[in-house]
Chains A and B, each alone.
Chain A
């Protein structure tokens, strides 16, 4: 029972990281109708910069800022210089270019930093706190929880309570009408990419201390999990991404804790398959796709 409580609590923290990453996929999908397969690799680049900052200055908070800023810059560069040149009449070229970008980023990181995992220390202790006799969250898990929730709330406010958020949503759902009303749609798409890529960078930065360390491929599994979440909750739904993210995180932690780490990818695949069986026709909750 104690073990279950502990696993549930750590699963919650892990799930929020997945949810955050899934949220970044949702943002980009809503802004540009693209599933960005390069999201993990782009975020890893930003986290390498954050790692350099933390080594130079020793401040985790500066590194966090660096990750966000680099994430935004990477998102800007990728959207302006790459994705904008891709033919948009069909989703295939966009996906293929994103996969090419993954290969480029992975190999460049590999050439520059080698295959080894760079350890990254957490800013808080990872020893679990005890409530009575039951081990629950560690201070770091708590930090992850709070930061992730903070970002989710901030994004919700941005999208629902500000003019920029309204413009972003309008540009995503009805680009032609928005353009007629004076919204700079291409700029909104770029901002969507920057936001999404910054959120992803934070998610990967939060993930790294709980994993082996930083490596070109250390965010790949996170992407697969986040993608599963996107299928569960629907790519259009931020709430679905958060709820689904926590559910998948708890599932993975429970399976790893009770059945062994080897079963976790199979559990994720089984969950995906199950969802597809229960929801034939895909998980397109709202509408299929924007025409253009």
Chain B
């Protein structure tokens, strides 16, 4: 069977598995800290991939995507915690925890999606903003979520057979990459298929979409749910990595960071979401390293430490939106498309939708 005979879905799955295999191979040459960063990137990618579909394809601006990740993290902790406390070992708590993450994030995403189907742009953005602000209140008011301290998440150790070969960070990176594969592949299939077309139709012209038999409410709610499911998986990965889930980690800043990632990467593009995920994880680290190396006074360094990153990201957000509306992926696809064409047959849409394209 040649490549040409494969269906669209098989091609996407193959490409995903190939990329994941490359990522797993790369973990062997990375240091433990870099592996931790890679796992973090994979977790953020889960969330940004869903968010880029939500904003880029259906035009729904969610400022509360961090809450969906938090829901995934809490769902994981609520299921995996008691299981491992009951002495169940092996991969079972991890798998059950992931199901818990999917369930809780799916429910929250479904509720938000129902609201999103009724609300136009700014109203939805405001509702999700209120949700992010209310997250610490929820975790401290609902018993069993551990308040501001958050919940402890059981440690996921390396299986005995692999222990001589891989370290803990590397094992976690593998878990993260595989979960990202499972989370993003369905999104890629949705994006290039019929559902993706419906999403674009609803974004482009709701009335025309209705006339063509597409239900905008169902499409918008569906986009929220699939975005929430993949964000929930990302949250579960973060919970495994940090062995903790707390409301402080999923504040408004983190939500805005996810937004920066998808806008800078290019709205509607999964490649852009991946680039954005790398950017929001690695840029803060780079900036911290750079300010640390400049030998500034400790007071100045403390002031710069958190805020300089936010400043850079804010400036990027404004610049990309005004100067470069398609984001990085659009700019790159223009420049390198001829090069890429030489190596692979194009299956999906030629270029990601830009903001201004309608």
Name 15 A/B residue pairs within 8 A (Cβ), A-sorted: A89-B358, A92-B61, A97-B321, A102-B314, A103-B317, A104-B310, A107-B310, A110-B306, A224-B133, A230-B126, A266-B141, A268-B130, A269-B134, A272-B130, A276-B115
Q: Judging by beta carbons under 8 Å apart, are A99 and B130 in contact?
A: no
Write the nearest CB–CB distance from B209 to chain A, whole angstroms.
15
Q: Judging by beta carbons under 8 Å apart, are A104 and B315 in contact?
A: yes
Q: Judging by beta carbons under 8 Å apart, are A262 and B321 in contact?
A: no
* Cα separation A146 to B355 with both chains bound (whole Å): 45
Known A-B contacts A87-B355, A102-B314, A103-B313; the reply to A282 vs B137 at CB < 8 A is: no
Residues of chain B contacted by A235 (CB below 8 angstroms): 122
Which one, A96, A107, A276, contacts B119 given CB within 8 A?
A276
Q: Which residues of A contact B (CB under 8 A)?
A: 35, 37, 82, 85-87, 89-93, 95-97, 99-104, 106-108, 110-111, 114, 220-221, 224, 227-228, 230-231, 235, 262-266, 268-269, 272-273, 276, 280-284, 288-289
Closest A residue to B122 by CB, please name it. Answer: A35
Q: Judging by beta carbons under 8 Å apart, are A103 and B133 in contact?
A: no
Q: Judging by beta carbons under 8 Å apart, are B259 and A99 in contact?
A: yes
Which one, B115, B120, B134, B325, contacts A265 given CB within 8 A?
B134
* Cα separation A93 to B327 with both chains bound (whole Å): 12
Could you tell me which residues of chain B, from 101 to 129, have a CB within 8 Å of some CB in chain A?
A: 115, 118-123, 125-127, 129
Contact with A along B9-28 (1 / 0, CB 8 A): 00000000000000000000
| B356: Cβ under 8 A from any A Cβ | yes
Q: Judging by beta carbons under 8 Å apart, are B322 and A97 in contact?
A: yes
Residues of chain A contacted by B313 (CB below 8 angstroms): 100, 103
Q: Judging by beta carbons under 8 Å apart, are B314 and A100 in contact?
A: yes
**18 further interface pairs, Cβ-Cβ under 8 Å (given A104-B314, A111-B303, A235-B122):** A86-B322, A87-B325, A91-B120, A91-B122, A92-B121, A93-B322, A96-B61, A97-B321, A100-B318, A103-B317, A107-B311, A110-B303, A262-B140, A263-B141, A264-B137, A268-B134, A282-B118, A283-B123
Q: Judging by beta carbons under 8 Å apart, are B59 and A90 in contact?
A: yes
Closest B residue to A235 by CB, please name it. Answer: B122
Q: Judging by beta carbons under 8 Å apart, are B358 and A90 in contact?
A: yes
| B83: Cβ under 8 A from any A Cβ | no
Write the nearest CB–CB distance from A217 to chain B, whole angstroms.
9
Q: Judging by beta carbons under 8 Å apart, are A220 and B355 in contact?
A: no
Interface centre among A97, A103, A114 (most CB of B within 10 A): A103
| B307: Cβ under 8 A from any A Cβ | yes
Q: Judging by beta carbons under 8 Å apart, are B121 and A95 in contact?
A: yes
Residues of chain A contacted by B325 (CB below 8 angstroms): 87, 93
Write the nearest CB–CB distance from B134 to chain A, whole angstroms.
4
Write the nearest CB–CB distance from A61 to chain B, whole angstroms.
32
* Cα separation A75 to B122 with both chains bound (whole Å): 20
Closest A residue to B355 by CB, please name it. Answer: A93
* Cα separation A264 to B140 with both chains bound (whole Å): 12
* Cα separation A101 to B256 with both chains bound (whole Å): 12
Residues of chain A contacted by B140 (CB below 8 angstroms): 262
Which one, B120, B141, B256, B356, contacts A87 given CB within 8 A?
B356
Write the nearest CB–CB distance from B308 to chain A, whole angstroms.
7
Which one, B118, B121, B134, B316, contacts A281 given CB within 8 A?
B118
Write the nearest CB–CB distance from A166 to chain B, whole angstroms.
26
Known A-B contacts A86-B321, A103-B314; the reply to A92 vs B355 at CB < 8 A is: yes
Query: What 4 A-B pairs come out closest when comparing CB atoms?
Result: A103-B314, A100-B317, A35-B122, A107-B311
Write the nearest CB–CB distance from A213 to chain B, whole angstroms.
18
Residues of chain A contacted by B358 (CB below 8 angstroms): 89-90
Which one, A227, A280, A288, contacts B118 given CB within 8 A?
A280
Could you tell me which residues of chain B, from 34 to 77, have a CB within 8 Å of some CB in chain A?
A: 55, 59, 61, 63
Write the nearest CB–CB distance from B150 to chain A, whole angstroms.
16
| B282: Cβ under 8 A from any A Cβ | no
| B304: Cβ under 8 A from any A Cβ | yes
Could you tell me which residues of chain B, from 299 to 336, have a CB within 8 Å of some CB in chain A?
A: 303-304, 306-311, 313-318, 321-322, 325
Residues of chain B contacted by A92 (CB below 8 angstroms): 55, 59, 61, 121, 355
Residues of chain B contacted by A114 (CB below 8 angstroms): 303
Known A-B contacts A90-B358, A104-B314; the reply to A263 vs B126 at CB < 8 A is: no
* Cα separation A85 to B63 with both chains bound (whole Å): 23
Closest B residue to A260 by CB, please name it. Answer: B141
Closest B residue to A34 by CB, please name it. Answer: B122
Q: Judging by beta carbons under 8 Å apart, are A224 and B307 in contact?
A: no
Write the nearest CB–CB distance from B328 to chain A, whole angstroms.
15
* Cα separation A89 to B325 with both chains bound (whole Å): 13
* Cα separation A217 to B323 with both chains bound (whole Å): 28
* Cα separation A211 to B140 with both chains bound (whole Å): 22
| B131: Cβ under 8 A from any A Cβ | yes
Interface centre among A96, A224, A280 (most CB of B within 10 A): A96
Q: Judging by beta carbons under 8 Å apart, are A97 and B317 in contact?
A: yes
* Cα separation A140 to B201 with both chains bound (whole Å): 54
Known A-B contacts A96-B263, A100-B318, A266-B137; the reply to A111 vs B311 at CB < 8 A is: yes
Write the nearest CB–CB distance from A268 to chain B, whole angstroms.
6
Residues of chain B contacted by A289 (CB below 8 angstroms): 120
| B285: Cβ under 8 A from any A Cβ | no
Residues of chain A contacted by B311 (CB below 8 angstroms): 103-104, 107-108, 111
Residues of chain A contacted by B61 (CB below 8 angstroms): 92, 95-96
Residues of chain A contacted by B303 (CB below 8 angstroms): 110-111, 114
* Cα separation A272 to B308 with both chains bound (whole Å): 34
Write the nearest CB–CB distance from A30 to chain B, whole angstroms.
13
Which one, B63, B129, B310, contacts A103 given CB within 8 A?
B310
Known A-B contacts A97-B317, A101-B314, A288-B120; the reply to A111 vs B59 at CB < 8 A is: no
